[in-house]
A and B are shown apart, each in its own frame.
Chain A
Amino acid sequence: MGAERPPVAPAGPQRRFRQDPLLLRVPLILVGVAAVALLIVVPVANVFYQALSHGVGTYWRNLVDDPDTRHAILLTLIVAPVSVALNVGFGIAAAWAVTRFQFRGRTFLVTLIDLPFAISPVVAGLMFVLLFGLQGYFGPWLRDHGIHIIFALPGLILATTFVTLPFVARELIPVMEAIGADEETAALSLGAGGWQIFWRVTLPNIKWGLLYGVILCNARAMGEFGAVYVVSGHIAGQTDTMPLRVQKLFDEYNNPGSFAVASILTSLALLTLLAKVSLERKTRREIAAAGAFVGPERPRNADSRETP
């Protein structure tokens, strides 16, 4: 964005026009900092305080000695990566189709990819129960063949994948659009095959954008609650993921246990933020290094719509 400022404009007077008086600046900053402190910093501090309030030993035992908690951690470590992997495959395919070709319904397809953001996670879970639950449309067939989807691992993966479906694609589409197809076309004219182009040209170009999407997708996948809540059936030690375990312990009035699990999830969220910041810095530096060659710079907040 810096490049858009007039190069050697009279910095002095221009500055004065845009600079607010100190009497306005300081209160505004204080209000902003206070809001972030109250809404974000104190809650995070509270998670760790509550988790450790009975000492480090109890904290450790809460996490390690409870087999159901151990299983919940393990289950989240299975469900999240599988969902992320599925959505990476989808995201790459969708971004390739949308940014490298013109076809009818292209805009509509992009809208469709965003659709899961507009669907309540609870409704998402409900849809899979309607399909695969015992009384669902495929329920009797699945029962006859001994396949369990709802109240089992496949259901958890399906629901999580649904909720996190847009993340990777949303990240990749603007990146691939910005990079353009010139390098790939050049590789093709030099005789490279389709997969060769993908592995040698496209993937190196999009790797940071892809990683960024993976990080966001993973954060949401690990933390998903509503959709997973509906399809899991809450069988302790079997279908409870970490966020569900947090709730179960909370309902059992086991606050230290609940906060212990929550503290892991919070640490993961903080790690996500760190990774996000360093990746953003990296892409910015790369774009700066590549200069005009890369073309239109990547929107700094490509994730802003998801964001969420």
Chain B
Amino acid sequence: MKAFAQSTAASHRVLPGFRLSLSYTLIYLTVLLAIPLAACLAKVSSLTPSQFLAAAWTDRARAGYLLTFGVSFAAAAINVPLGLLLAWILVRYEFPFKRVLDSLIDLPFALPTAVAGLVYANLYVQNGWFGRFLVPLGIHGAYSRFAIVLVLTFIGLPFIVRTVQPVLETIDAEVEEAAASLGATRLQTFLRILLPSLVPALTTGFALTFARSLGEYGSVVFVSGNIMFKTEIAPVLIVNQLEEYHYAEATAIALVLLAGSFATLAVINSLERWSRRHGG
């Protein structure tokens, strides 16, 4: 690490292209990121506080935020144990087609969300492949809140697995050996030794899934049915307002959603800094 820091310090102002690359980066970020965000703030500041509340804090909007945060939380919570299990079997066990399974984990990331939504809606409706067994049991995996959680679980799965997997790979065998030789059972070793060292990765994975789910739109519109007060997520509310050309109202809702996402991002960053300090 020290050598690396030195070589970077040495190259400081030695290599060419500092001005060009940095100014290009900054201009690009200004045009694509800063100006659009500023436009958002400017639009909202054209509203009076009471107008803002009337747009962004209606019963319908509150139901939307609650649903968005609730389903995102549920999907992330399902993904934590599931992702841990998958990372565990991929790192620790050998079984046929393991590499295929490993590659398939990334599919939700590569598959367009609209396709995910389309096929999930199709699988869980009454005459779908899963729906024909589940709907008679009263389980509605399409056009319900459960449907949203399902599709968000699909979308979030790679985040947790890919965050936990590398950490699990680097855990030192000697620690487990020591625990076992001191008389700990497998379960004790897992709960007391392994799990605590995985907690930072699991938390980061949780936050990443959660953050991704908060803004998800493409897959959810297909499976949710968009029933007012019931399955209408916040991004759908924004689109609805936009389609009626209520730009300021749409932006007000967007700002609440943005605040939620940025808070999550801030938590992720501080978690990473914390785990780097305590874990590394």
Contacts and interface: CB of A to CB of B under 8 A. Distances in A.
Interface residues of A, number: 121
A20 interface: yes
A273 to B, nearest CB: 5
A246 B115 contact: yes
Most chain A CB within 10 A, of B13, B88, B89, B234, is at B89
A24 B88 CA distance: 12
B80 interface: no
Interface in A218-248: 219, 222-226, 229-230, 242-244, 246-247
B179 to A, nearest CB: 8
Give the secondary structure class of A's interface. Answer: helix
A203 interface: no
A253 interface: no
Which bracket fits the contact residues of B?
Answer: 35 or more
A180 B218 CA distance: 40
B208 A305 contact: yes
A127 B40 contact: yes
A38 B180 CA distance: 36
Nearest to B88: A28
Contacts of B61: none
A35 B86 contact: yes
A118 B36 contact: no
Interface in A19-59: 20-21, 24-25, 28-29, 31-33, 35-36, 38-44, 46-47, 50
Interface in A265-285: 265-266, 269-270, 272-274, 276-277
Contacts of B212: 117, 308
B107 A102 contact: no
Given A50-B122, A162-B32, A225 B113 contact: yes
A143 to B, nearest CB: 16
Interface in B258-278: 258, 261-262, 264-265, 269
Given A121-B218, A269-B110, 17 more contacts: A32-B101, A42-B130, A46-B119, A46-B122, A90-B25, A97-B21, A120-B215, A136-B39, A182-B7, A219-B109, A243-B113, A243-B114, A247-B222, A269-B111, A276-B110, A304-B159, A308-B158
